[in-house]
Structure 1
C-alpha cells in the first residue's frame, strides 16, 4: 500500500531521492483515466476495473499544445461505452479478463490471418473451446457481435468455473429454436445477463459497456480458494511493510522492484510516476520521515478466482517534515481497501487502493498552519 499520495510527493519534492528517467512507468497515469464515462454510468466501476487492470485499453487521443513557448502533450483515454463492439474486440477483452493461454488448436478460420492484430486472441479463444465460428467456417472478426453471440461465448468460457445449476431465467424474445438459448437462460439464471424487462433482444448489436458488465459478473461468480486468500493478504502486507522500510533506507531500486512485484496496471503506473516526480521538481532542502505506528490488520472482504478486496485497518503513520520555512508532525490513519487481480503467471497484484479518509486535506491543513 502506498504510504500516501501527498506524503510521497513531499518526500520526492524535498530530494530524499534522486530520480532518473529509467524509473518512469511503462504506462503513465494519464492512460488510466476515463474521460468519457460519468460516475453515475451503470458500468462505471466495471469499466474502471477493466481499465485499471489492463483488461481494457480504451482509445488513446493525444493533444499537443503550446504554452509560454513550451510544447506539451496531453493524453486522454476514451472507453466509448455506448459504441458497438466487434467479435474480435470482444474476444480480446474476454481472453485478457480470464488470463487465458493457448491450448490445443484443432480449428482455424480463413478470415483470421497471422498478421491480424487479433490473431493470437482468436487462436487462444478457439483452442479453449470458446469460439465456434460461423456456419460457413469463417469467424467474421470485424462483424459487430450480437448479444446472443456474446452470451454464448461467455457461457462456454465460464462453464468450467461457474456453477450454472441455478433455475434458468427465460425471455419472451428467446425461444428454444435460438442456438444461444441454453447459454442465455443459464447465464441469466445466475445473474450474468439482466435483460430489458422480459426481453433479451438477442439480435441487437452489443455495446462495449454491456460486454464489460457481462464478463465482470461472470468473473465474480468464480470461486477463490484458501490459498488465494493467504496470498492476497501476503501481497498487501508486503507492499505496506517493505515500502516503509525501503523508503526509510532511500532504496529506490528496491522500491521499483517492490512495485513491479506487488502492483499492476493503474497502481503500478501511479507508483512509478511518483518516483519519477523528482525529474520535474525543483530541488528543495529538508527532510520528510514516515513511520508506521503500531500494527495494522489485513482482512479479505471478497475473493474469487481472479479478483480480491482486502480491508486494511489501523494503519497509523507518523509523518514529520522539517524544512527552512516550514515544519510539522502529525499522525494520519492510512486505513483503506486494496483491490487485487490475479495475473497470467498466477500471482496476485494490487491494482488500486481506496483510503477511508481524505488525508490529503489533513496534510494541506497541517502545512497551512505552519
Structure 2
C-alpha cells in the first residue's frame, strides 16, 4: 500500500514539474507578446485560458471568434467541456468547443441566432465581448461612465457601462469604445485578465485598435444584382444583421466567397449577399449579326486551334461583344465564344414603311436629333425604307446610307405599281418657244429626263414620249402612253408671251367632271402647288383648256408650263441647272402627291 502511495505521489510531482516546464517554455517561445500587456497575457497562459499557436507565436492582432470566446470563458469559469451534440445545428459533437459552447449557453452567457444557429466562426465585436464578460462575471454595478460612441439607447450601453464600472476597460485615449470593432486576442486577453484578477497591473487604456483590413482590395470577380432591395448582410447567412441594400441591376465587385455567399461591394455598401441573386454582367453589345452558314463552330479563343465550345445554325442572330482581328466574340442562346467574321452578316432590319424624300440634300444623322453627326444625304424623290420610329424622327436606309431623318421631309411612297407618261413638249422640227437664248424643246427635254430619274428613284415606272430631239405627233404621244399602260399623263412645256408675263401654270381638260376629269384636276393642283413654290415664281394657278394631248387621252392628264422664256427673270432661272432640277423635283413630287391621294 505504501509503495502505491509513494508511486502516485512521485507521478504527481513529475506532472506538476512538466506543467511548469511547459508554461515556462510558452513564456520563452511566444516572442510576439506585446511588452505592455505581457502581464495580462501571461496570466491567462499561466491559467491555461489561452495558448499560443503551433508556430510558437501568439498573434495578438488576430480576431477572436465566438467559438474561441466561449472556450476561453468556459475555461475561466471551469465549465463542463464534454463534447456533445448541442442545440445548435452548426455545433455538433465533433466540434472541439461543443462542450464549452453548450455549457456557456446553458448558463445564459452566450446565445445563438434567431434561426437556431450559433455561427462558431463569426468574429466577436468589442460590444459583444463586453456583454459576455458582464454575464460571465456577474457584473451588476453601473455608473455615470460614458463613451462618446456609445449611445444610451444602444443595446450594448449597459454591458459596456458595467465592464467600465468594474474597471475592466477604460476605452481608448480619444474617449471612444469602438463597440462595432472586432476584438483581437490582445484586447480579449487584457479584458479577460482584468475580469479574472484585479491584482494584475493597474488598469490602463485598452490596446490601440489595429486598422481594419480593407476586404475590398482584392477583387475576384464582378457581378450584377438580379433582384430589387437585395439585403446586404454583416455575415454569410440570413441571421446576420442587414447593413444595406442593392437594387436590381446594380453592378458589384466580388471580394470573397463563403459557400453560397459572396462578400461584395458597390455604391459605398459592402457585405454578404447570396450568390443566387447575382449574375454575370452582360458584356456590352457592339453589333448584332446573323450567321450565314450551318453548324458554325464556336471556339474558346480567336483561332481554329482553340477548342469548340458550341455551334450555331444558319440564320442564327448573335450579339457581338469584341473584335479580335478577323474573329468576333459573340453570344446567343447561352453559347458564347469566337467565330470568324466571314460567316457573319448584318441583320436585315425590318421595314415598317416605305417613304419618299421630299427635300434636296436631306441630312441623314447618326441619331434622332439635329445634334447628332451627319452620316450621309438623300435627295428629293429618293425612296427609303423606314425601320424604326422615334418621336418625329425615322431610322431609314437607302443603298449603303442608313440613319435618322425628320418625318417632315418624308412622304408616303405609292403602294400600287404606277406608270406615268412624261411628255417633253415639241421636239425635232418643232422648237417651241425661243427667247432669251433659250429653246423650249431643249429646256423641257432636260427637265423631263430629270423628272424620270426622280420618279424611278421613288419606285414609279416612267414612259417617255421622247427622250431625244425628235418630234412625235400629238396623237402619237397619246398612243405611246396608252400602249405602255400608263395610268396618267404629264406634258411639260415652257411659256411665251409678253415680256411682263411670268410664273407657272398647269392645265387640265374637263368638259364636265367625270372621274378622269376630276383626277386630272387633282393632278394639276398637286403639280402646280409644288412647282410655284420650288421655282419661286408667280402662281398663275390651274386652268381648264382643251390642248390636244390632254383632251384626246382617256388618262388623267395635265400640261404644265414651267415659266416664261420671254420673261427675263423666269428665263434667267431656267438657264440654270439648279432651277431645272427644282422644276423636275416639283413635278415628280406633285405626281407622287397625286398617287398618294388616289390611294
Same fold, TM exceeding 0.5?
A: no
Whose RCO is larger (CA < 8 A, sep 6+)?
1
TM-score relative to the length of structure 2: 0.28
TM-score relative to the length of structure 1: 0.45
Structure number with the higher helix fraction is: 1
